[in-house]
Amino acid sequence: MSIFKGHKISVNQLLRVIPEALLSKLSITTKVDYYAKVLHGKKMFYLLLYGILENEKLSQRTLEDTFNDVIFKTLFDLDKSESIRRSSISERLSKIDSDYFRQIYQCVYRQFYDAYPNKGNAKHQLIHVDSSMVSEAAGKLLEGLDNKSGKKSVKYSVAFDGLLPCHFDVFTKSKYSSENIALPEAIMNHVKQETHHQNIYVIDRGLQSTRTMKSFSNDAVTFIVRAKENRKHVELQSLLKQGQDLDLGELTLVKDSKVHLYTGRPINNKKGNIHYREELVETPFRLIVAKTKTEDSKVFWFITNNFDLSAKQVAQAYRRRWDIEVFFRFIKQELNVSHLVSLNKNGIEVMLYMTLIVAMLILIYKKANKIGYKTAKRRFKMELRNLAIAMIVVKCEGKLDHFET
């Protein structure tokens, strides 16, 4: 039971979602433990899980100290005689098979998704997709996105279902600086994971490519994008009905039309330079224009390939993308995702899988116990540490001076 009154779920119950049998099975199927003397896959999983929770700013040095901590070893029933050094952690992060952590992440997500479905009676599942950059201490990255400061950065694009992160990609190549390249790849990678999906992908202004929108339509991927205002288009048909209610909640509907959009086709001129020739893309899209009800009314343009939702549902779907902004803030401020523990792409992927696993545990703890983000993380840590102390007391039969450190 939880030590906090009114809590419906405890940390101990949540940790059982990741049974040791699963970790052992995946160690065999992924061959993650080949050539590993001490830092087997299961130990790395426990180390990173505990390290992310316990440390305000995680590093390879703090992971070294964490592994050698008797409380950590007691909590996860590890050999107290074993010890490791920072260099071993660094090497293991760079070489350990990230697929081991990917499969654990997917298993945890499926279990929580089944327990807390977001769809309810809704026909469609809203998936909000966005990216964030990490550049702290990234100047030493072997491969990364170049930015104006001269440092290299890493981009991670995350798909969020309203409660949990359901997919992510790590990008280190320069071409992924453009969201018109990064976001479509992340979305299509998520689409491949789900058969017969009815997702609607909600995207902010980063993605504006008409060619990408056409590709989505061809692949039966439904999307809602916030477009740049006054985007050039040809109106084919107004979808507004006589006497229609124009109230969209916080917005007022201005326009709802079936349109064709323009795109720029790259052309090589005689000097070898590339310029763009404007041409119409004859794929029908829906353009919704709405404005805020305040005095300094702000205009929003939305483009979608869905003609079934009402204009109000489209606007509300975009408004809910604030959920992913809150999630990004949570993993940056509370789970230190803005700090790179490994400068190797494989290590970055491992750390992000582990961060999202920890995030899911805390998010379910938060939802089940009806508390805030910071309270959830704080209480989660307290319960975990109390669990370790209780195990120590049991092992030494209440005589702490007999406990071997």
- Gap between the Cα atoms of 173 and 371, Å rounded: 39
pTM of the model: 0.88
Eight-state DSSP code of residue 402: G
**pLDDT attached to residue 1:** 47
Q: Report pLDDT for 396.
A: 65
Give the model's pLDDT for residue 113.
Answer: 85
Q: Residues in the chain, how many?
A: 405
For every residue of 116-148, DSSP letters joined together read S-S-TT-SSEEEEEEEEEE-TTGGG-SS-EE-T
Segments of the chain with pLDDT less than 70? 1-2, 117-123, 136-140, 142, 147-150, 270-272, 274-276, 395-405
> pLDDT per residue over 259-288, tens digit each?
999 987 777 776 667 666 788 998 999 999
CA dihedral 392, 395, 396, 401 (to 10 degrees): -30
Which amino acid is it at 256? D
222 in Cβ contact with 190 (< 8 Å): no
Of 184, 175, 224, residue with least CA distance to 204 = 224
| pLDDT confidence of residue 405 | 52
Q: β-strands 299-304, 274-292: how paired?
A: antiparallel
pLDDT tens digits, one per residue of 147-201: 666 678 899 999 999 889 999 999 988 899 999 999 999 999 999 987 777 899 9
**For all residues of the chain together, what is the average pLDDT?**
87
Angle at 149 between CA 209 and CA 89, to 5 degrees: 95
Alpha helix segments (H runs only) across 18-84: 20-29, 41-54, 60-67, 70-75
- 155 forms bridges with which residues in the sheet? 133, 171
Q: Is 175 exposed, middle or buried (0-12, 13-18, 19+ CB in 10 A)?
A: exposed
